[in-house]
Structure 1
Amino acid sequence: MQAQATAKFIRVSPRKTRLVARNVNGLPVEDALNILKLTPQKAAGIIYKVLHSAVANAEQMPGVDVDAMVVKQVIVNEGPTWKRFLPRAQGRATSVKKRTSHITVILEAK
């Protein structure tokens, strides 16, 4: 049995989010939630919410013990990039890329 939850167009860089996501792959749900709660990065709070949503989705399935579930995979894909400009000296401008992420958490019953 698998349960999943997805958050799209999240305003955090995929590269930074993947660093946090690696910490919880393969862990039991309770341990993963505790680790994410104590991790200071912005991405940890977002992954925490998505993981919590995946647990709620798993509770809706009949005959599934949520306490026995593990985090099978946390997938972080790149979303659309916001392109902005920053004024610089002598009338120039530099481009700023504000990246977004699509985060998917997949839980699996052991």
Structure 2
Amino acid sequence: MEAKAHLRYARISPRKVQIVLDLIRGKDTDMAMAILKHTPKAACEQLEKLLKSAIANAENNHAMDKDNLYVAECFACPGPILKRIRPRAQGRAFRVLKRTSHITIVLKEKE
């Protein structure tokens, strides 16, 4: 049995999110929550909310025990890229790519 939580169209690059996801993969939920609280990365705030959501899904929808949960899978896929224009010298324009992410966390119960 597994519980999932998705965050779609997060306004942060998947590369930045992946760094933090590597820290919590395979950890139990209490340890993962502590890591997210004390890691000074921009993605941590959104991932903390997503992890809380996954824990709530596990408890309420799948009747899983909160104390036996661990992060089985977590990954960030690239979402659509917002293309913006940055004005440059002599009337030119450079393109700025604002990347988005689709983040997924999957929790399972320990045997």
Q: TM (normalized to structure 2)?
A: 0.96
Specify every segment of 5 or more residues in structure 1 that has no aligned partner in the other structure, as ranges: none
* Alpha-carbon distance in 1 for matches of 2:68, 2:107: 10
Structure in which a larger fraction of residues adopt helix: 2
How many residues align structurally?
Answer: 109
1:87 maps to 87
Specify every segment of 5 or more residues in structure 2 that has no aligned partner in the other structure, as ranges: none
1:34 counterpart = 2:34: yes
CA RMSD of aligned residues (A): 0.7
Alignment of 1:1-110 (within 5 A): 1-60=1-60, 61-62=62-63, 64-110=64-110
* Alpha-carbon distance in 2 for matches of 1:74, 1:43: 13
**Identity among equivalent pairs (%):** 45
The code of the aligned residue for 1:90 comes to Q
The code of the aligned residue for 1:68 comes to N
Q: TM (normalized to structure 1)?
A: 0.96
* Alpha-carbon distance in 2 for matches of 1:9, 1:36: 20
